[in-house]
Amino acid sequence: MKELSSSIVRLIQFVEYYLCPQYCGVVDRRRVIAYLFTTLIELVVIPFHFFLFLMVWEPSGFTMACLHLIAFILVQYMIWKQVFPFHQGVSALFLLVAVKLAADSVLCTYFGVLDDDITVIGNIFVMLILDIAALSLMLQMTSLWITLMVIPLIGFYYYTLPHGEWYYSMKPILVGVLMLAYVYTYNMSRVTKGLRQPREISLEERKALEMLANLRDMDYGKAGNLLERLSPEIRQRIVHHATERLRKEEVEKLAWDMVCADLTKSEKEICKLVLEGNSLKDICQRLDKSESNITSQRCHIRKKLNMDRKDDLRGTLEMKIAELRKVM
């Protein structure tokens, strides 16, 4: 089992280094994992569909399976040839699967040999899972397109069902919608605002904490006298707070270094000023450079960070740093 997990990790890293050569954050790695598992599922499902449609001989279903196979090969070719950025390749794969599921549901209802409501409700549930996966991978437009596909499909499904059978199939759809709402909610930026912080420490503890945390500026005599006047419980709290502070500073520095690993010194300075909320004019004044120079460097930064044209640089930097904080 351990060897199997190691092999899976090596495969993920191989694909990651090939498809995301410049930078790979937490979300990028999750996209790689989602891509690999979606590809694996398709490699199992496509031959199964060919076997099924040949066994019951459904010409429309067999034609759809052939078209899906051609489109799947084309998407895989473009992903591995890096015709477009990797996140767009994952989006294309998700949308291909969603379109295939929607088409399969319509074909099952009108052209199927057997009346197969189970396949239709199963396809809808899988589309909701794809929608949730796209949203959790920060592929908002992909999630929106899948949602726009699944809503009329749900209406179509209930339109074809007898009225008395509606209640039997509402639970999986309701669960899928609620999970989608859950992922959408925790992705909202306003959710992280106003978080309750740990209780405040006293002024005396803060002074001692500052002395302990800033060792190079510390007056050892004063610090020793101060610590002697504190109770063992407060001393323990001070050590804990000092340790936490140093750890957070180290994590922040490490996260920053990992995000900006491929950036030049000048590009890192621009990123710091962007994170501080400075405008283009302010950055030009601070660095004494022209707007065209800064704009050109920002384009290089966006390319190195695998950003889309619509992505916000400050938001992307904050998101990548926050992701790295979570895993450290």
Find where tokens 């005396």 sit. 204
pLDDT-derived band at 54, boundaries 50, 70, 90: confident
User: In terms of pLDDT, which residue wins out, 270 or 222?
Assistant: 270
Looking at residue 216, what is its pLDDT?
Answer: 43
For residue 121, count other CB atoms closer than 10 A to its CB.
20
Task: Kindly report the three-state secondary structure assignment for every residue of 40-101.
Answer: HHHHHHHHHHHHHHHHHCCHHHHHHHHHHHHHHHHHHHHHHCCCCCHHHHHHHHHHHHHHHH
pLDDT-derived band at 93, boundaries 50, 70, 90: very high
- For each of the domains in the chain, give its residue range(s) and CATH number, in order of start: 1-187 (no CATH), 259-327 (1.10.10.10)
Summarised one tens digit per residue, pLDDT across range 250-260 is 666 666 667 77
**Chain length of the chain:** 328
Q: What is the mean pLDDT of residues 32-49?
A: 88
Separation between Cα atoms, residue 266 and residue 297, nearest integer Å? 8
Looking at residue 215, what is its pLDDT?
Answer: 44
Pair 150, 128: CB distance under 8 Å: yes
Long-range contacts of residues 207-210, Cβ cutoff 8 Å, at least 24 apart? 208/238, 209/238, 209/241, 209/242, 209/245
Looking at residue 289, what is its pLDDT?
Answer: 77
User: In terms of pLDDT, which residue wins out, 189 or 43?
Assistant: 43
Which range in 89-98, 106-115, 205-214, 238-247 is most confidently predicted, on average pLDDT?
Answer: 89-98
Looking at residue 48, what is its pLDDT?
Answer: 87
Summarised one tens digit per residue, pLDDT across range 167-202 is 666 777 778 788 878 877 877 766 666 554 455 555
Q: What are phi and psi of 307, to 5 degrees?
A: -95, 150
Q: Is 113 exposed, middle or buried (0-12, 13-18, 19+ CB in 10 A)?
A: exposed
Q: Tokens at residue 181, please? A: 């709402």
* Gyration radius from the chain CA atoms: 27
Angle between helices 86-110 and 26-56 (to 10 degrees): 30
3-class DSSP assignment, residue 301: helix
Looking at residue 145, what is its pLDDT?
Answer: 92
Q: What is the mean pLDDT of residues 276-288?
A: 77
Task: Supply the DSSP string of 204-227, one letter for each residue.
Answer: HHHHHHHHHH-GGG--HHHHHHHH
Summarised one tens digit per residue, pLDDT across range 66-82 is 898 999 999 999 988 88
Q: What is the mean pLDDT of residues 297-305?
A: 77
Which residue from 250, 223, 249 is spatially nearest to 238, judged by alpha carbons? Answer: 223
Which residue from 192, 99, 183, 193 is spatially nearest to 139, judged by alpha carbons? Answer: 183
Q: Which residues contact residue 260 at a Cβ distance below 8 angstroms, ignoring those fewer than 6 apart? A: 267, 268, 271
Separation between Cα atoms, residue 290 and residue 283, nearest integer Å? 9
pLDDT value at 113 more than 80:
no
Pair 213, 246: CB distance under 8 Å: yes
Q: What is the mean pLDDT of residues 212-232?
A: 53
